Amino acid sequence: MTFELTVLGSSSALPTSTKFPAAQVLNAHERFFLIDCGEGTQIQLRKAKVKFGRMNHIFISHLHGDHVFGLFGLLSTLNLLGRKTTMHIFGHSDLKYIIAFYLEHFAPENSYEIEIHPVVKRQLQLIFENKAIEVFAFPLKHKVPTFGYLFREKKRLLNIKKEVIEKYNPSIKQIVEIKKGADLITEKDEIVSNKELTIVPPKPRSFAYCSDTMVYEKITSYIKGVDLLYHEATFLECDTKLAKSTSHSTTVQAATIAKKAGVKKLLIGHFSTRYNSYEEFLPESRKIFRHTEAAEDLSVYTI
């Protein structure tokens, strides 16, 4: 089952000649979840060959332009393509005003419904789930209300061994029970233990998205042990004061959060355009947390 992240944009505030503003897409079992939508997102989606028809959910971290300026263009393109499926957008409640403005002035006859799901609570909360995945929102610490998102696979049922089906020919009801952990009672009243019948499925995978935020240790309990953490690292450690004044994080702060949360891998991004080179970002983070990667536009990270 596919579970991979594609970085569409890794710049903060401004697009550059090589980096787009914040946007990522998570492919979870061939369903695509867009996370933030900076300027040019739809261009990057096409380059990444994302199937628009399988993208029904957008998660916006906060209402700063570099995270939402791509929405109008993307929604307009979907309208021109004749989309019929509802688009679900999650984020701060003020999103409804932005979308209402778009619909009134640019798409009064929009071909599909846009449903806004306000994220309002200041604690970890389940905001979406289907058969395969759960999505949680949690608060970050920025100049405006900001949310991080945790994507987590649901625990799968046990897999029955093929030879078990051939040997015992269990009924559909028995198969369902075995998958849930039950033993098998044969026609001769023999008990076959579940361990002999099944194969343990892979451990559920997880991804957490944290942008934008100043260092905020409370989130370590929300993202504890995730397979991949994306955490903004807008500034180098030499600009710690600037990071604090703008409510952002440094390379070292992001790495420290990853270490304290016990995550398996850290992906840093949202790099400030004030730097002429980004070569120092990765070494600084790896001094604290060696399992760190620096986000590159259109790079794919398999979880």
pLDDT per residue as tens digits for the range 14-40: 999 899 999 999 999 999 999 999 999
CA separation for the pair 158, 180 (Å, rounded): 7
Q: What is the mean pLDDT of residues 215-230?
A: 97
Looking at the fold, whether 170 and 239 belong to one and the same domain comes out as no
Looking at the fold, whether 232 and 296 belong to one and the same domain comes out as yes
Instruction: Give Cβ neighbours of residue 108 (< 8 Å, ≥ 6 apart).
Output: none
Q: Is the pLDDT of residue 173 over 90?
A: no
Looking at the fold, whether 71 and 125 belong to one and the same domain comes out as yes
Q: What is the mean pLDDT of residues 173-187?
A: 85
| Chain position carrying tokens 């004044």 | 245
Number of structural domains found in the chain: 2
| Chain position carrying tokens 């846009």 | 114
Q: Is the pLDDT of residue 9 over 90?
A: yes
Alpha carbon dihedral 24, 2, 251, 293, in 10-degree steps, equals -120
Looking at the fold, whether 181 and 239 belong to one and the same domain comes out as no
Residues labelled as active-site residues = 66
Q: How confident is the model at residue 161 (pLDDT cuts 50, 70, 90)?
A: confident
Looking at the fold, whether 188 and 170 belong to one and the same domain comes out as yes
Tell me the DSSP string of the chain. Answer: --EEEEEEE-BSSS--SS--BSEEEEEETTEEEEE---TTHHHHHHHTT--GGGEEEEE-----HHHHTTHHHHHHHHHHTT--SPEEEEE-TTHHHHHHHHHHHH-TT-SS-EEEEE---SS-EEEEE-SSEEEEEEE--SSS--EEEEEEEPPPPPEEPHHHHHHH---HHHHHHHHTT--EE-TT--EE-HHHHEEPPPPPPEEEEE-S-S--GGGGGTSTT-SEEEEE--B-GGGHHHHHHTT--BHHHHHHHHHHHT-SEEEEE-B-TT-S--TTHHHHHHHH-SSEEE--TT-EEE-
Per-residue model confidence (pLDDT) at position 122: 79
Looking at the fold, whether 257 and 188 belong to one and the same domain comes out as no
* The model's pTM: 0.92
Q: Is the pLDDT of residue 158 over 90?
A: no
Q: How confident is the model at residue 183 (pLDDT cuts 50, 70, 90)?
A: confident
Question: What are the pLDDT digits (tens) for 59-79?
Answer: 999 999 999 999 999 999 999
CATH number where 30 lies: 3.60.15.10
Looking at the fold, whether 71 and 173 belong to one and the same domain comes out as no
Cis peptide upstream of residue 212 (ω within 30 degrees of 0):
yes
Looking at the fold, whether 73 and 189 belong to one and the same domain comes out as no
Q: What is the mean pLDDT of residues 201-217?
A: 95
Q: What is the mean pLDDT of residues 143-162?
A: 92
Per-residue model confidence (pLDDT) at position 159: 86
CA 237, chain centre distance (Å):
26
Looking at the fold, whether 144 and 165 belong to one and the same domain comes out as no
Looking at the fold, whether 146 and 281 belong to one and the same domain comes out as yes
Looking at the fold, whether 120 and 186 belong to one and the same domain comes out as no
Looking at the fold, whether 167 and 184 belong to one and the same domain comes out as yes
Question: What are the pLDDT digits (tens) for 132-142?
Answer: 999 999 999 99
Q: Where a domain ends, among 167, 199, 231?
A: 199
Per-residue model confidence (pLDDT) at position 124: 93
Question: What are the pLDDT digits (tens) for 76-114?
Answer: 999 999 999 999 999 999 999 999 999 999 999 999 999
Lowest mean pLDDT among 91-95, 182-186, 208-212: 182-186
Tell me the DSSP string of 64-133. Answer: -HHHHTTHHHHHHHHHHTT--SPEEEEE-TTHHHHHHHHHHHH-TT-SS-EEEEE---SS-EEEEE-SSE
Domain carrying residue 176? 159-199
